[in-house]
């Protein structure tokens, strides 16, 4: 029966290609009574929704799903990471596209969530389909939030409508209303979904609450810093705080930590967990209680399909100096004011006394490491016994995240991609609390942000009001510390560019040059003699320069084909 449903979906998809505006298929294409007469078919139908989430780097033109490469949420579009060339979005030189598969496909997918909800209304007994109905509400909210992040205002449709419906040719719904609808959908989902997370990765009630914390924080801060609706800002920030606290109080999740991994290395190995030997402690995915919602992969059944280990280790992704500088010292202070900071003159002096996540994310020059291509671990008893060969990092900052240590065929790594993890919820809580009143208590910090900090840094000074107040004259602020903690914890997980947009700081951060290590007058100048980059007045490598950011870049332009089909859509500011 599942194949039958998929054939129907495929047929509907072909029909959609021939119609205009939001490209919905006619409702009757999926109205076969045999499909909707059995409860298990609702569940089979909703299973397809799980293919619509973000993942590592799926081969698709629907780029919102691409979290690692050039997608709307990727760090390669931000100030923390670049590839061999700067993409047009990072450079600020993107233009109005003639068409946009994100726009088309998201609306197609919303159609299917609406279709399930419509058919569910006439099904009895209702108790037999509560979970797929909850999933439809969840994914409808998930998809509409994608539209808001990319395009702002968007047409809200709460039912599967025919292609000639006047709804599809009307005006866009304002983003505040859309976000309220998303939160309402997620609360409905939370009421219908099971409380216990399932082993097969389906969403539960706390997944819905966690997503509310993300959506509420996003729109609450967007409205606040873009001089929007102050009442809506307060409303959404309160929703974010309450939702995050619901997850925190549930006791269902905790930060991944293992003494057997040396504690501080837990952060790095969390992203590499598979169901085979993949770390010195022998831990597998079942040990991970931090991932609230993940895109599931498996070496045999569903490999990642992208050469992620080689790409992350071999400078396909190039972290910038801005990221490196954001890691705090062990006294909890920024490098600009910490007496523990050792500067950048030595080979790896800038790594000394720093947040251990820096060592787990960026490799030090000369550091030995394993990969999946001839230098993998052969045993897991110790580093020396396990090492068969080594390579050395001989350029700037090198990314270490998402790189396996075991022998596995290229593109066949099977670790999961975290769509929502508990650390984010804790950081959502801290920021939502602070932004409501521009204050947060030490107790609130200790039950949220400091838990995240101390996972990798048990001896690091906690973030507190006293710490910030005592260094206020040196420019330290609570807001910047909360933002910095979020940035380093969630690096390369698809948050930075969206954060810069909602904080309305992209106009300051994005035009800055993308810089690498300090070269002139340092150890590197004599060691890296074939360095081909230019350096700036501070002696730092300039990776890319000349980037711009205009006010219009805070939203993507609507594709021209959709604007032509429905003139009532208008166009986003600055793109007219």
- Written as one string, the DSSP assignment of 63-81 is GGGBSSSSSTT-GGGTTSE
User: Which 3 state secondary structure label does DSSP give 354?
Assistant: strand
Query: Which range (4-13, 66-75, 105-114, 256-265) has the least confidence?
Result: 4-13
Cβ contact 337:471 at 8 Å? yes
| Helices within 251-354 (DSSP H only) | 266-270, 308-313, 321-326
Query: Which range (157-166, 204-213, 381-390) has the least confidence?
Result: 381-390
pLDDT tens, position by position, 186-198: 999 999 999 988 8
Check whether 7 has a pLDDT greater than 50.
Answer: no
Rounded mean pLDDT, 251-268: 94
Q: Exposure of 315 by Cβ count < 10 A (0-12 exposed, 13-18 middle, 19+ buried)? A: middle
Q: Are residues 315 and 403 in the same domain?
A: yes
Q: Are residues 33 and 138 in the same domain?
A: yes
Confirm whether 330 is domain-assigned.
Answer: yes
pLDDT tens, position by position, 334-348: 999 999 999 999 999
Cβ contact 295:419 at 8 Å? yes
Query: Which range (382-386, 457-461, 519-523) has the least confidence?
Result: 382-386
Distances (CA, A) of 344 to 337, 351, 452: 15, 9, 27
Confirm whether 118 is domain-assigned.
Answer: yes
**What would you report as the CA-atom Rg of the chain, rounded to the nearest whole angstrom?**
24
Q: Are residues 233 and 362 in the same domain?
A: no
Beta bridge partners of 66: 55
pLDDT, position 393: 53
Distances (CA, A) of 2 to 7, 40, 421: 9, 10, 30
Which 8-state DSSP code applies to residue 302? B
Domain boundary among 377, 411, 445: 411
Q: Is the dihedral of CA 121, 125, 130, 132 positive or negative?
A: negative
Give the integer Cα–Cα distance in Å for 465 and 15.
Answer: 59
pLDDT, position 3: 36
**Most confident of the following: 67-71, 315-319, 572-576:** 572-576
Q: Are residues 239 and 314 in the same domain?
A: no
Domain count, the chain: 2
pLDDT, position 384: 66
Q: Are residues 240 and 360 in the same domain?
A: no
Q: Are residues 173 and 310 in the same domain?
A: no
Give the integer Cα–Cα distance in Å for 508 and 510.
Answer: 6
Q: Are residues 202 and 311 in the same domain?
A: no
Distances (CA, A) of 166 to 71, 155, 162, 430: 32, 11, 9, 43
Confirm whether 483 is domain-assigned.
Answer: no
Rounded mean pLDDT, 471-494: 98
pLDDT band at 77 (very low <50, low <70, confident <90, very high): very high
Closest CA to 55 of 293, 273, 228: 293
Q: Are residues 115 and 206 in the same domain?
A: yes
pLDDT band at 28 (very low <50, low <70, confident <90, very high): very low
pLDDT, position 27: 41
Give the integer Cα–Cα distance in Å for 574 and 557.
Answer: 9
**Cα distance between the two ends of the chain:** 47
pLDDT, position 526: 92
User: Which 3 state secondary structure label does DSSP give 7?
Assistant: helix
**For the whole prediction, is pTM greater than 0.85?**
yes
Check whether 107 has a pLDDT greater than 60.
Answer: yes
Specify the pairing of strand 362-363 against strand 417-421.
unpaired
Check whether 527 has a pLDDT greater than 80.
Answer: yes
pLDDT, position 141: 98
Check whether 99 has a pLDDT greater than 80.
Answer: yes
Closest CA to 146 of 100, 191, 78: 100
pLDDT band at 2 (very low <50, low <70, confident <90, very high): very low
pLDDT band at 19 (very low <50, low <70, confident <90, very high): very low
Check whether 1 has a pLDDT greater than 70.
Answer: no
Check whether 57 has a pLDDT greater than 90.
Answer: no
Q: Are residues 239 and 322 in the same domain?
A: no
Q: Are residues 108 and 221 in the same domain?
A: yes
The boundaries of the domain holding residue 246 are 2-55+97-250
């Amino acid at each position: 029966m599942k194949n039958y449903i998929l054939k129907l979906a495929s047929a509907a998809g072909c029909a959609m290609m021939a119609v205009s505006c939001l490209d919905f298929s006619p409702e009757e294409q999926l109205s076969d009574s045999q499909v909707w007469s059995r409860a298990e078919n609702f569940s089979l139908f909703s299973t397809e929704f799980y293919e619509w989430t973000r993942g590592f780097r799926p081969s698709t033109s629907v780029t919102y799903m691409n979290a690692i490469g050039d997608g709307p949420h990727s760090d390669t579009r931000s100030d923390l990471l670049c590839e061999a060339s700067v993409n047009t979005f990072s450079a600020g030189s993107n233009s109005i596209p003639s068409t946009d598969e994100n726009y088309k496909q998201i609306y197609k997918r919303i159609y299917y969530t609406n279709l399930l909800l419509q058919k569910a209304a006439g099904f009895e007994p209702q108790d037999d389909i509560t979970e797929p109905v909850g999933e439809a509400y969840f994914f409808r909210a998930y998809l509409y939030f994608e539209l808001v992040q990319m395009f702002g205002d968007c047409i809200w449709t709460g039912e599967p409508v025919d292609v000639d419906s006047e709804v599809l040719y009307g005006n866009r719904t304002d983003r505040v209303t859309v976000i309220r609808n998303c939160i309402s959908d997620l609360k409905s989902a939370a009421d219908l979904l099971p409380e216990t997370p399932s082993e097969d990765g389906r969403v539960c009630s706390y997944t819905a609450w966690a997503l509310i914390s993300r959506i509420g924080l996003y729109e609450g801060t967007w409205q606040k810093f873009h001089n929007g609706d102050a009442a809506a800002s307060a409303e959404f920030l309160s929703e974010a705080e309450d939702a995050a606290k619901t997850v925190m109080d549930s006791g269902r999740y905790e930060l991944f930590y293992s003494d057997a991994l040396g504690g501080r290395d837990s952060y790095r190995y969390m992203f590499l967990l598979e169901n085979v030997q993949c770390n010195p402690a022998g831990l597998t995915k079942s040990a991970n209680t931090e991932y609230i919602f993940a895109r599931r992969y498996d070496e045999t059944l569903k490999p990642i399909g992208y050469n992620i280990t080689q790409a992350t280790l071999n400078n396909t992704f190039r972290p910038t100096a801005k990221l490196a500088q954001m890691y705090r010292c062990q006294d909890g202070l920024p490098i600009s004011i910490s007496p523990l900071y050792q500067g950048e003159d030595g080979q790896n002096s800038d790594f000394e006394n720093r947040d251990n996540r820096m060592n787990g994310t960026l490799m030090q020059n000369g550091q030995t490491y394993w990969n999946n291509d001839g230098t993998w671990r052969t045993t897991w008893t110790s580093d020396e016994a396990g090492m068969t060969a080594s390579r050395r990092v001989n350029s700037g900052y090198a990314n270490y995240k998402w790189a396996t240590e075991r022998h596995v065929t290229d593109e066949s790594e099977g670790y999961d991609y975290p769509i929502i993890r508990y650390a984010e919820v804790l950081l959502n809580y801290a920021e939502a609390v602070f932004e409501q009143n521009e204050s947060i208590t030490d107790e609130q910090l200790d039950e949220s942000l400091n838990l995240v900090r101390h996972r990798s840094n048990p001896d690091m000074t906690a973030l507190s009001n006293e710490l910030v107040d005592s260094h206020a004259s040196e420019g330290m602020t609570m807001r910047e510390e909360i933002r910095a903690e979020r940035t380093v914890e969630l690096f390369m997980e698809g948050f930075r560019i969206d954060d810069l947009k909602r904080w309305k700081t992209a106009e300051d951060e994005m035009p800055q040059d993308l810089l690498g290590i300090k070269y002139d007058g340092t150890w590197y100048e004599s060691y890296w003699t074939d360095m081909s980059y230019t350096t700036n007045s501070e002696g730092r490598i300039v990776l890319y320069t000349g980037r711009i950011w205009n006010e219009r870049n805070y939203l993507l332009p609507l594709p021209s084909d959709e604007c032509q089909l429905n003139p009532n859509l208008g166009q986003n500011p600055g793109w007219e």
